[in-house]
Amino acid sequence: MKTWSEPFECSRARQYLRADNPEESEYLKLVCECAEIPADRVISWARRRYQAEQTVDHSVECASGTGAFPAE
AA letter at 52: A
Q: Is residue 39 part of a domain?
A: yes
Cβ neighbors of 17 (< 8 A, separation 6 or more) are: 28, 42, 43, 46, 50
- As for how many domains the chain has, the answer is 1
Q: What percent of the chain has pLDDT over 90?
A: 57
AA letter at 71: A
Q: Please give the pLDDT value at position 6.
A: 75
Provide the CA 2 distance to its chain's centre, in angstroms.
Answer: 24
pLDDT tens-place string over residues 22-57: 999 999 999 999 999 999 999 999 999 998 865 444
Q: Is residue 61 part of a domain?
A: no
Q: How confident is the model at residue 68 (pLDDT cuts 50, 70, 90)?
A: very low
pTM exceeds 0.85 for this model? no
Q: Is residue 46 part of a domain?
A: yes
Q: Is residue 21 part of a domain?
A: yes
Domain encompassing residue 18: 8-53
C-alpha to C-alpha distances, 42 to 9, 27, 33, 56, 67, nearest whole angstrom: 19, 13, 11, 21, 29
Q: Please give the pLDDT value at position 54.
A: 53
